[in-house]
Structure 1
Amino acid sequence: MASAVDSKTVDPKKANKFVLNNGHTMPAVGLGTYRMRDQEEVLEVVNHALAAGYRMFDTAAVYRNESFLKEAFRRLLPRYDLDRDDIFITTKLSPAEHGRPEVIKKAYANSLENLGTEYIDMYLVHFPGSARIAVDDKKNTELRHATWESMVELYDAGKVNGIGVSNFTNYHLELLMERNHGVVPAVNQVEWHPFYYQTELLDYCKANDIVLQAYCSLGGKSVSNNELLLHPSVTKIAQTLGVTNAQVLLKWARQQNVAIIPKSTNPVHIKQNISLNFEISPEDMRILNNLNKNPVKYAWDPRNVV
């Protein structure tokens, strides 16, 4: 198994780290790559991200851009005097691959080949439900357990540095923990922003040494909805602090000890999104927390998956 990320490669002024429940470290801020499906775009974005200090990159089999990242890392890591061990790569198992060990092993091997690497730092179950199965079908539960058992096999064999889940609710995590598969997820990656967050989920993850990692930190921006990003309360706090609205939303998560993977293709925003060296006051944190009174969810909804 490869060594964890070396602390000397990450500027502590730009990005903190989490020590995962298996002893490996993970940067607290990474770059999301959802909907980046052009080789040149990925190359340019990764270039700006590496220059800004990013050392974590998040992708998934269903994003269909793993091979683009492979080429970007091949060309750009030497430019910044970095090796494979200096970056942290997360990818995810597609919901279409749940259940059978041989299918999951092949899916993992495909991701390795696509990314051009000998190991992946964090491999996540992308969704608690399985493709082509109704959310209320109890097959989801057994397939989820079978999938996790196969993930544990990959981990125990030293083929992946860490395993975790994505879009899991308290219910899904509790079922997984009750079955006692021998390995607790290191990460749970979920939608998390002031319009939609679950305090009980964060509490559960902290109590069980699972890092909560946020996506959709800017609300519905990925679906062309800027209601949260341009909310008057967010704007007022940003103006007071002299930062951008996006930085306020990202810092809101970080001050709750939540990891973040903001996506941007804009060089200025890429740099800003990792520059979070300011504090939101307790009063302003309460204002942001109160935006959850009428929750708005923008991404996959796992709540009805049995």
Structure 2
Amino acid sequence: MAQTIELNNGVQMPIFGLGTFRIRDYDVVYKTLDIALNIGYRSFDTAAVYHNEHAIGCALKTLLPKYGLSRKDIFITSKLAPKDHGLEAESACNHSLQQLDIDFVDLYLIHWPGKQGLKAEDAKNKDYRKQSWKAMEKLYKNGKFRALGVSNYTISHLQELLDKCEIKPAVLQVEYHPKLVQTDLLKFCQHNNIHLQAYSSLGVGNLVSEPKIIELAKKYKKTPAQILLCWSTQQGIGVIPKSVNPDRIAENINIFDFHLSTQDITEISSLNSGTRYCWDPQGIYKKKKNQFSHFQLQMHKYYLDKG
């Protein structure tokens, strides 16, 4: 199984990365990245709304030399916060670079198709998406981003972008797992040479207890998490599982020494029920009064709780 994906602009991207959502404390960030780099992780996923870009940047400044690595040896992904859609996008992008203390980001994504504070049906969301992408294209041309992409976009959002953009998105990051097999979205991405990267590959922990997954884990002498992650990567779908547990960090990436049979991949896919464990971007196109994006509400609640 290939451990890297060639994006549509020729950039090589690891198919396996470490997610960092909700990892904010500097000591925890440092320890987690230290463990990950030692094991062999070379791709790290962050975002402005995670409030850990600065901690990640500081940790990498110390840790890369420790392992004989340089900036070009790792792949860093970050994302534009929903509040920064529009004219604020360029400034926000530059702020992420400053927080990470690096000259360029390997992959930069629009995190959410709507602007924070706007109702889901507000037509201004479309204008903000366009403005944000234009700002990102400018920074891409200036060498600040090696590749551009989007997160939580639907087929409609993607088609809208493809119809108007100068630089095509290279990556779509969405919720994707056996309970949410977005076949049409995957086919659309494949047709348009957009790499699909999954988050919540383990179904926020729910899928590891599925009887079928447990059965296959015993068959392959692997853990349920490894079965789930291999199910994605073997189909060419990138993954970015998050953990601060040393054993799980090591376990998660140890999936390149076995292959699931075609029948087993099909059986895992049959678990599909359309279940989402995270926010639903479909709401951006629905006409419901007073409907704010679930992403915005959940993120707002999270940061109110965390301070």
2:74 paired with 1:107: no
User: Of the candidates 47, 57, 61, which is equivalent to residue 70 of structure 1?
Assistant: 57
2:228 paired with 1:249: yes
Counterpart amino acid of 1:255?
Q
2:44 paired with 1:44: no
In structure 1, C-alpha distance between the alignment counterparts of 2:268 and 2:278, rounded to whole Å: 20
User: Residue 119 of structure 1 aligns with which residue?
Assistant: 104
2:3 paired with 1:16: yes
Counterpart amino acid of 2:74?
I
Is the CA contact 1:191–1:197 (under 8 Å) kept in the aligned structure 2? Answer: no
1:188 is paired with a residue of what secondary structure? strand
Is the CA contact 1:99–1:143 (under 8 Å) kept in the aligned structure 2? Answer: yes
Larger CA deviation: 145-154 vs 238-247: 145-154
2:276 is paired with a residue of what secondary structure? coil
Is the CA contact 2:90–2:132 (under 8 Å) kept in the aligned structure 1? Answer: no
User: Residue 301 of structure 1 aligns with which residue?
Assistant: 280
Is the CA contact 1:235–1:245 (under 8 Å) kept in the aligned structure 2? Answer: yes
Deviations 1:240-296 (A, max 9, x none): 00000000000000111001111111111111111112111122111111111x221
2:130 paired with 1:145: yes
Percentage identity across paired residues of the two chains:
44
For structure 2, the residue ranges without an aligned partner over 5 or more in a row are: 286-307
2:248 paired with 1:261: no
2:282 paired with 1:282: no
User: Residue 80 of structure 2 aligns with which residue?
Assistant: 93
2:204 paired with 1:220: yes
1:46 is paired with a residue of what secondary structure? helix
2:236 is paired with a residue of what secondary structure? coil
- TM-score (normalised: structure 1): 0.91
User: Of the candidates 19, 27, 30, which is equivalent to residue 17 of structure 2?
Assistant: 30
Consecutive aligned runs of 4 or more in structure 1 exceeding 6 Å deviation:
none
Q: Deviation of residue 65 (structure 1)?
A: 0.5
User: Residue 139 of structure 2 aligns with which residue?
Assistant: 154
User: Of the candidates 43, 55, 58, which is equivalent to residue 42 of structure 2?
Assistant: 55
User: Residue 169 of structure 2 aligns with which residue?
Assistant: 185
Q: Deviation of residue 104 (structure 1)?
A: 1.4
In structure 1, C-alpha distance between the alignment counterparts of 2:218 and 2:26, rounded to whole Å: 36
- TM-score (normalised: structure 2): 0.90
Deviations 1:203-231 (A, max 9, x none): 1111111110000000023xxxx2x1111
User: Residue 295 of structure 2 aligns with which residue?
Assistant: none
User: Residue 169 of structure 1 aligns with which residue?
Assistant: 154
RMSD: 1.1
Q: Deviation of residue 167 (structure 1)?
A: 0.5
1:291 is paired with a residue of what secondary structure? coil
1:237 is paired with a residue of what secondary structure? helix
For structure 1, the residue ranges without an aligned partner over 5 or more in a row are: 1-12
Q: How many residues align?
A: 284
Counterpart amino acid of 2:111?
H
Q: Deviation of residue 37 (structure 1)?
A: 1.1
